[in-house]
Amino acid sequence: MSTASEQIILTTCPRDCYDACGMAVVLKDGVISSVRGDPEHPVSRGKLCKKCSIGYNGVWRDPEARLSNPLRRIGRKGKGEFEAISWDDAIQTIATHCQDIIQRHGAETIINTHYTGTFAMIGFHFPMRFFNRLGATEVNPDSICNLAGHIALDYVYGTSLDGFDPRTAKDSRCIMVWGANPSACAPHIDQHWLQQASAKVIVVDPIRTQTAANADIHLQLFPGSDAALVFGLMHVLYRDGLMDEAFIESYTRGFDELLPSIKNATPAWCAEQTGVPASVIEEAASVYAQGPSLLWLGQGFQRQSRGGNAMRACSLLPAVTGNIGKAGAGFLYLNGLGNRHVDDAYLLGHHLAKQKPEAISHMDLVDCLGDSHKSQALFCWNINNAASNPDQARLKQALGREDLFTVVVDVFPTDTTDYADIVLPAASFLESNDLFASYFDHSLSAQVKVTEPMGDSLPNSEIFRKLAKAMNFTDPELYETDIEVIDHVLSHSGVGETFASLSTKGTVPFSSEPAIQFKALKFPTSDGLIHLASSKAEADGHTRIPEAYAEPKPAGKKLRLLSPASGWLLNDSFGNDAKIETQLGAANVVMHPLEAKTRGLSDRQTVVLSNDTGKLTLQLKLNADVPMGVALSHKGRWPKRQADHANVNILNPGVKSDMGDSTAVHSVEVEVSSAA
């Protein structure tokens, strides 16, 4: 496989992506010549996705595009004007500010925002040991993404992190993909798993995505009407005797409470609520009921005002049809570390927190940063808030506060680093050892250091070890080395690999045979049953049972703005790669041709999207894959690379969903008009 001067190293893509691709990095004379897919890897099969094959051979390895030195601000906040400084100077400056703030205002005024810039185990978790010890206020990371869904599934099943093993699809007769778009978000799984499955595929999405177009049945519902659709499906299942009464009797609680709503949700009512024709509702119900059926619960549909209710409702389908605990059946939101026997409390160092201030939501970050009593310092790492958070204009204003001491750790000079007092350069995944646990497959992978960190950059873990030292913290957990953490995780996982052996394989399955989800039919709820009705939810102020709810349609000429993932970007990563930008073309909004016609708008013209929160200029594209009443504009553009210095989040007021104060970004409404 390798010649004398050529060497191939296997590693893993650590992006927040279902695929967790195995990669082969080709080194010539010790220097990276290309980053490709590992031909032996079951998911990537020799090819990276289009964004990574360009980006990992583009900006990620371009010294001009990367951050390579610690920086100190010399210009106004937001200008991105810095001077290079040494690590010692940067770390000491940060420690001095933190010590001073802790003494004068309390550690809780240090705000810690982070997410999945790298989702590798150490790069994602380890810095939290420092913040736990520090006593900083955490901005709940999942509140920008998927928290409502997690809470909802906890009510019903007692966990949201124990999903099906995709290998069990060989025994499935139906795969239902609900509010996920693998054609963009999981391109290899879409191509190699979903499209090759012998099962019938049902897709539930307001947009006719490529995944929906390839499916056997597409339920093209109006956004936010998922719970009503579920009750319509359950009506047909109940009416036609397709529910699994024995399963309901033995393993669930609260069915009687659901029954009146199920009886009311006739196909005609459901069609009216959701926009899905009654005949298609009937067909989908009978295909799903035949089973065994898998249900992929995406993250898209829970980013609605009542996304938690929608997730709770959807999760009833496997329970009422007995599609649990047997081969080819089950549901998946995300597979957590637990089913690889990895203890995230160990990785995060929860016990280091002497006092843990209550976390806040990303939806409340703007207000927190606008108030100097609540926020004296801000850390951003693994996250580009100025691109991905709501209320972008107000956020930038708050980030501009002179007295908010701001530290940003990133691989690239982003819109967020532009607001930093101190910028710390992070090494990329090619430059450090780590582990990765896919959130789709039941597998474990090695992230292998292929080359030295670029310039003076350092992996997240090393940066926070340095900070701990400068703060004079003595807890040994803060100084555990990467390889010690890796060895700890691998030895506890029982996977039978050392880092050296895993590195030669890249990825290993966690078990030789497909795992059966909830095989023992004991659920981690208070009584071991599935809670169709939940007193816990009720105690938290929600309804006891999920409601057959559909979001009202926007009034007047307003459209519902969906801003899901683009196949060319990974959140806001890759938005700074010029080749990818060329492929993407100008930032655009897609509308149904008839919606454009009623507004006198035409294809390719410049339009303005506006609402009470902001406005944004975009190019209009017409396409009937987007239903009436909806506008589609993908997330992830870098604001500073756009003419308006903004992206779609300038329009997002940061409305919260019904659970966990989590994002309802897909419930934004806008007007669209000609720019002229």
Ligand X SMILES: Nc1nc2c(c(=O)[nH]1)N[C@H]1C(S)=C(S)[C@@H](COP(=O)(O)OP(=O)(O)OC[C@H]3O[C@@H](n4cnc5c(=O)[nH]c(N)nc54)[C@H](O)[C@@H]3O)O[C@H]1N2
Q: Please name the amino acid found at residue 298.
A: G
Query: Is residue 21 a contact residue for ligand SF4 (CB under 6 A)?
Result: yes
Alpha-carbon Rg for the chain, nearest whole angstrom, is 25
Query: Is residue 276 a contact residue for ligand SF4 (CB under 6 A)?
Result: no
Pairing of strands 434-436, 110-114: unpaired
Query: Is residue 186 a contact residue for Mo ion (CB under 5 A)?
Result: no
Q: Which residues pair with 112 in a beta bridge?
A: 138, 379
- Find the shortest distance in angstroms from Cβ 18 to Mo ion: 11
Q: Residues 9, 25, 35, 48: which binds ligand SF4 (CB under 6 A)?
A: 48
SS3 218: strand
**Residue 145 or residue 237: which is nearer to Mo ion going by CB?**
145
Looking at the chain, the number of H-run helices and the number of E-run strands are: 25, 26
Measured CA to CA, the distance from residue 52 to residue 37 in angstroms comes to 10
Q: Please name the amino acid found at residue 332.
A: L
Instruction: Please answer whether residues 330 and 164 qualify as being in contact, where contact means their C-beta atoms are separated by less than 8 angstroms.
Output: yes
Measured CA to CA, the distance from residue 558 to residue 81 in angstroms comes to 40
**Residue 388 or residue 613: which is nearer to Mo ion going by CB?**
388
Of 18-26, 363-371, 455-463, 480-488, the segment contacting ligand SF4 by CB under 6 A is 18-26
Query: Is residue 145 a contact residue for Mo ion (CB under 5 A)?
Result: yes
**Residue 119 or residue 251: which is nearer to ligand SF4 going by CB?**
119
SS3 231: helix
**Chain centre distance of CA 479:** 29
Report residue 83: phi and psi, to 5°.
-120, 150
144 binds, among ligand SF4, Mo ion, ligand X, none (CB under 5 to 8 A by kind): ligand X
- Find the shortest distance in angstroms from Cβ 56 to ligand SF4: 8
List of residues contacting ligand X (CB under 6 A): 16-17, 115-118, 123, 144-146, 178-181, 184-185, 204-207, 209, 221, 223-224, 226, 298-301, 304, 381-384, 387-388, 409-412, 414, 426, 460, 562-567, 569-573, 635-636, 648-649, 652, 665-666
Tokens of 653: 């007021």
Q: Please name the amino acid found at residue 461.
A: S
Instruction: Please answer whether residues 113 and 380 qualify as being in contact, where contact means their C-beta atoms are separated by less than 8 angstroms.
Output: yes
409 binds, among Mo ion, ligand X, ligand SF4, none (CB under 5 to 8 A by kind): ligand X
Tokens of 283: 């067909």
Please report which helix (H) or strand (E) contains residue 155, including its range. Answer: helix 147-157
- Find the shortest distance in angstroms from Cβ 120 to ligand X: 8
By the 10 Å C-beta count (0-12 exposed, 13-18 middle, 19+ buried), 8 is classed as middle
Q: Site map for ligand SF4, 145-184, x if CB under 6 A?
A: ----------------------------------------
Query: Is residue 626 a contact residue for ligand SF4 (CB under 6 A)?
Result: no
Instruction: Please answer whether residues 354 and 361 qualify as being in contact, where contact means their C-beta atoms are separated by less than 8 angstroms.
Output: no
- Find the shortest distance in angstroms from Cβ 461 to ligand SF4: 21
Positions in 551-570 near ligand SF4 (CB under 6 A): 570
Number of Cβ within 10 Å of residue 240's Cβ equals: 12
Positions in 570-589 near ligand SF4 (CB under 6 A): 570
Helices (H), 431-481: 460-470
- List the 137-138 sheet strands across, edge first: 82-84, 71-73, 422-425, 405-410, 377-381, 110-114, 137-138
Query: Is residue 291 a contact residue for ligand SF4 (CB under 6 A)?
Result: no
- Find the shortest distance in angstroms from Cβ 395 to ligand X: 12
SS3 242: coil
Q: Count the residues of the shown chain that bind ligand SF4, applying the rule CB under 6 A.
A: 13
Q: Residues 9, 15, 54, 361: which binds ligand SF4 (CB under 6 A)?
A: 15
SS3 672: strand
Of 96-104, 124-132, 138-146, 639-647, the segment contacting Mo ion by CB under 5 A is 138-146
- Find the shortest distance in angstroms from Cβ 574 to ligand SF4: 9
- Find the shortest distance in angstroms from Cβ 120 to ligand SF4: 12
- Find the shortest distance in angstroms from Cβ 340 to ligand SF4: 17
Give the CB-nearest residue to Mo ion: 145
Measured CA to CA, the distance from residue 301 to residue 497 in angstroms comes to 38
Measured CA to CA, the distance from residue 432 to residue 12 in angstroms comes to 11
**Residue 67 or residue 327: which is nearer to ligand X going by CB?**
67
- Find the shortest distance in angstroms from Cβ 270 to Mo ion: 29
Query: Is residue 187 a contact residue for ligand SF4 (CB under 6 A)?
Result: yes
Closest CA to 224 of 532, 672, 537, 560: 560
Q: Residues 9, 10, 11, 17: which binds ligand SF4 (CB under 6 A)?
A: 17
Measured CA to CA, the distance from residue 95 to residue 468 in angstroms comes to 9
- Find the shortest distance in angstroms from Cβ 676 to ligand X: 26
- Find the shortest distance in angstroms from Cβ 209 to ligand SF4: 16
Query: Is residue 185 a contact residue for Mo ion (CB under 5 A)?
Result: no
Of 46-54, 141-149, 277-285, 390-398, the segment contacting ligand SF4 by CB under 6 A is 46-54
SS3 530: strand
648 binds, among ligand SF4, Mo ion, ligand X, none (CB under 5 to 8 A by kind): ligand X
**Residue 60 or residue 379: which is nearer to ligand SF4 going by CB?**
60
Q: Residues 52, 177, 446, 478: which binds ligand SF4 (CB under 6 A)?
A: 52
Closest CA to 22 of 37, 35, 7: 37
- Find the shortest distance in angstroms from Cβ 259 to ligand SF4: 42
CA dihedral defined by 458, 462, 468, 472, rounded to 10 degrees? -90
Residues of the shown chain interacting with ligand SF4 in the complex, contacts defined by CB under 6 A: 13, 15, 17, 19-21, 44, 48-49, 52, 187-188, 570
Residues of the shown chain interacting with Mo ion in the complex, contacts defined by CB under 5 A: 145
